[in-house]
Amino acid sequence: MADVQLAGITKSFGGVTVIPGLDLKVPDGSFTVLVGPSGCGKSTLLRMIAGLESPSAGEIRIGGTDVTDAEPSDRGISMVFQSYALYPHMTVAQNIDFGLRLAKVPAAERATRVAEAARILSLEPYLDRKPGQLSGGQRQRVAIGRSIVRNPEVFLFDEPLSNLDAALRTQMRVELAQLHQSIGATMIYVTHDQVEAMTLADQIVVMKDGRIQQVGAPMELYDRPASEFVAGFIGSPKMNLLPGRAIERDDVKTVGIRPEHLHIADDGQWRAAAKVVETLGADTIAYMDAEGLGEIIVRLPGHMRLKAGERLGLSPEIANLHYFGHDGHRMEHVA
């Protein structure tokens, strides 16, 4: 088992600096999710940890050892690619076995380990098939199988679920969480989907433009976003970000309130008209137009009947307001 430490990691492509000096600690055994909009440098960072890209400056340590210049195969890592990167000309068993064969592991041990991986991932019936004969979810499992047979200390995932349909994605998310629990290795997972980040991570790293915006447990980020960017990025539906004048404050640039922290009240301080109402069953999500403030999203109980065009008063839970200053950072102690 191993932790991963990044110190002063910088990456430039030609003259363009994609990651300008980044520090991060990924604790041993954690499930750390790197999340951020596409193009923010998540894959680049992951590829540097994997050794597929070398940093322009800085140091990478895995389990305390400096691996900045080590070959990918000498880092004790494995990686699952978005495209799965399975070898089309090999069977499922050969795909899973490939790394062991290269490492000259004795045949008997290889067979046991492949069988064990196939069992964990329910791939036993497919071992003799080629990847082309598998569904997306099965291919994904083979890619994971190929990672786990080598018993790496750190698993790297680059958007592994983004090629799957929504139902399968949810299912694989659960399986990945179970896998992490059962093998307990360190996992670093890249995604642009904050729902995946919230559900899988014990540590989320929010990135933007190659910089870390905030690191923390999912609910920490949800409850106390460090910046306006994180506030808007984490949570679905999104946090409402209203101008400071909504609460009559000039020093506050933006005030944030999550949809579930708004209530309908006749004497509410904001007046709003419903535009679109989505009934999800347990909840009703109302997209409303608040007078002078712009769009506002409200999460209401499932049986709340609300018609488009209806005008209401809204009142926020004062304790759950988030204040952001003109620099975009969270403001503490705003009375």
Partner 1 sequence: MQMLNTRTPRPARRFWHGARSSRLTAIAILLPPGLILFSLFVILPLTESGYYAFFDWNGYGTPEDYVGLRNFERIADHSVFHTAVGNTAKIIAVSLFIQMPLALFLALLIYRKTPTNALFRLIFFVPYILAEVAAGLIWSFVFDGNYGVTASIARSMGQESFFILADRDWAFVAVMTVIVWKYFGFHMMIYIAALQGVPEDLIEAAKIEGAKRPQIVRYVQIPQIRPAIIVSAFFAIIGALQVFDVIIPLTNGGPSNQTQTIVTYLYSFGLTRLKIGFGSAVGVLLFLAAILVAVFYQRLFMKGSRP
Which residues in this chain contact ligand ADP in the complex, by CB under 6 A? 13, 18, 36, 38-44
One residue of 20, 21, 58, 72 binding partner 1 per CB under 8 A: 72
**Which of residues 12, 13, 27, 103 is near partner 1 by CB under 8 A?**
103
CA-based radius of gyration for the chain? 23
> Whole-number minimum distance, CB 81 to ligand ADP, in Å?
12
- The CA-CA-CA angle for residues 241, 242, 244, to 5°, reads 125
User: How far is the C-alpha of 184 from the C-alpha of 85, rounded, in Å?
Assistant: 24
| Near partner 1 by CB under 8 A: residue from 78, 138, 213, 284 | 78
Sole residue written with tokens 């958007």:
159
How far apart are CB 256 and Mg ion at their closest, in Å? 28
- Which one, 77 or 288, has the nearer CB to partner 1? 77
Hey, which residues does 264 pair with through a beta bridge?
Answer: 314
Question: CA dihedral defined by 58, 63, 67, 72, rounded to 10 degrees?
Answer: -120
β-strand 262-264 against 254-257: which pairing, if any? unpaired
Please choose which of ligand ADP, Mg ion, partner 1, none residue 219 contacts, taking the beta carbon within 5 to 8 angstroms, the exact cut-off set by kind: none
CB of 102 to partner 1, least distance (A): 5
Q: Does 43 bind Mg ion (CB under 5 A)?
A: yes
d(CA 46, CA 29): 17
Tell me which of Mg ion, partner 1, ligand ADP, none is bound by residue 181, counting a contact when its beta carbon lies within the kind-specific cut-off of 5 to 8 angstroms.
none
Size of the site for partner 1 (CB under 8 A): 24
Q: Which residue has the tokens 């949570």?
A: 235
Q: Does 308 bind partner 1 (CB under 8 A)?
A: no
Count interface residues toward Mg ion (CB under 5 A).
1
* Cβ closest to partner 1, residue 103 vs residue 174: 103
By the 8 A CB rule, do 240 and 290 touch? no
What residues contact 258, with CB distance under 8 A and at least 6 apart? 235, 239, 240, 299, 320
Bridge partners (DSSP) listed for residue 272: 290, 312
Q: Which does 186 bind (CB under 5 to 8 A by kind): partner 1, Mg ion, ligand ADP, none?
A: none
CA distance 245 to 271: 14
CB of 36 to ligand ADP, least distance (A): 6
Q: Is omega for the bond preceding 237 within 30 degrees of 0, making it cis?
A: yes
CB of 178 to Mg ion, least distance (A): 25
Rounded Cα distance between 268 and 107, Å, is 72
The residue within the footprint of partner 1, chosen from 146, 180, 253, 261 (CB under 8 A), is: 146
Taking the complex as a whole, the smallest distance from the CB of residue 82 to ligand ADP amounts, in Å, to: 9
Q: Residue 183, interface with partner 1 (CB under 8 A)?
A: no
* Residue 261 amino acid letter: H
Which residues make beta-bridge pairs with 25? Answer: 5
CB of 9 to ligand ADP, least distance (A): 12
CB of 159 to Mg ion, least distance (A): 6
Joined tokens for residue 51: 């050794």
Query: Which of 37, 69, 87, 219: binder of partner 1 (CB under 8 A)?
Result: 87
Provide the binding-site residues for partner 1, judged by CB under 8 A.
50-52, 71-73, 77-79, 81, 83, 85, 87-90, 98-99, 102-103, 130, 132, 146, 150
